[in-house]
Amino acid sequence: MISHKRNAYIAGAVVALIGIGLLLQVDFERWRLPGPFNPGHENLACNECHIAAIGTVRQQLQANVQYWLGGRRTEADFYYHKIDNKNCIACHNKDNDLHSSYRFNEPRFNKIREEMHPELCISCHKEHVGQRVSHFKITDCQFCHKELKLKNDPITVPHDELIEREDWHTCLGCHDYHGNHDMLIEKTVGRAINRQKLINYFNASESPYLGAVIKKAKSTRYEK
């Protein structure tokens, strides 16, 4: 009896998946956008990020049915590949990233990975929300830099004092996150870029940093 029910369930699931598969056959370019593009992405084609999954739809179906039956550890991509860092790095390749995402895969970052997933671009940069930085607050440096103390601190209010006062909004006023702006780091705390300008930048305004972007983005992932 039980196995009959199970077969009926699987048959139902397969039919549903085929239905979804047919829906997805529609050209992705015709899909409705779930929200406005983030700044800089307005002119990108959908398939610059939404890439077809490996294998035929039938193979993907089989792999997913196996997953549901417990014969496979991970869910398989179905029709479109789930977006991960590789999609972003295809155009945003920054070799000297100050906070390179892959470093956060190290075991010593296990706890922070559970808290905020700094190893994934889309943890901080969700797409289709019309914002440059969507899920990271300007004070979030505190997640990782609470213990910071510099020997011979060069700035007018030393780092440990800023931290003691919980002035976390000042950090991005002198440092960018990826180190991709060609700029001299300020030493006078009063000259740090102010909070409101940083918040506007996170939304969609121009960059408040004086220096130009060092590693520019490619306009298509096919570009060499």
Residues of span 46-105 touching ligand HEC by CB under 6 A: 46, 48-50, 82-83, 85, 87-92, 98-99, 101
Identify the residue among 62, 123, 134, 203 touching ligand HEC (CB under 6 A): 123
Using the rule CB under 6 A, give the single segment among 12-20, 51-59, 68-76, 121-129 that binds ligand HEC.
121-129
Using the rule CB under 6 A, give the single segment among 6-14, 53-61, 62-70, 146-154 that binds ligand HEC.
146-154
Is residue 213 classed as helix, strand or coil in its secondary structure? strand
Closest distance to ligand HEC from the beta carbon of 109 (Å):
7
Using the rule CB under 6 A, give the single segment among 17-25, 56-64, 69-77, 209-217 that binds ligand HEC.
209-217
Binding mask 156-195 for ligand HEC (x = CB under 6 A): ---x--xx----x-xxxxxxxxx-x----xxxxx--x---
Closest distance to ligand HEC from the beta carbon of 6 (Å):
29
Closest distance to ligand HEC from the beta carbon of 49 (Å):
3
Closest CA to 118 of 60, 76, 69, 177: 177
CA separation for the pair 169, 162 (Å, rounded) = 10
CA separation for the pair 73, 37 (Å, rounded) = 34
Contact 113, 191 (CB under 8 A): no
CA separation for the pair 88, 221 (Å, rounded) = 9
Give 121-127's long-range contacts (Cβ < 8 A, gap of 24+). Answer: 121/85, 121/88, 121/89, 122/83, 122/88, 125/38, 125/88, 127/37, 127/38, 127/41, 127/49, 127/83
- Helix 57-68 and helix 2-25, axial crossing angle in degrees, nearest 10: 150
CA separation for the pair 159, 191 (Å, rounded) = 15
Residue 155 is a binding residue for ligand HEC (CB under 6 A): yes
Tokens 């035929």: give the residue.
56
Identify the residue among 53, 65, 144, 199 touching ligand HEC (CB under 6 A): 144
Closest distance to ligand HEC from the beta carbon of 8 (Å):
29
Using the rule CB under 6 A, give the single segment among 2-10, 13-21, 57-65, 210-218 that binds ligand HEC.
210-218
Contact 125, 40 (CB under 8 A): no
- 6 vs 187, beta carbon nearer ligand HEC: 187
Closest distance to ligand HEC from the beta carbon of 138 (Å):
7
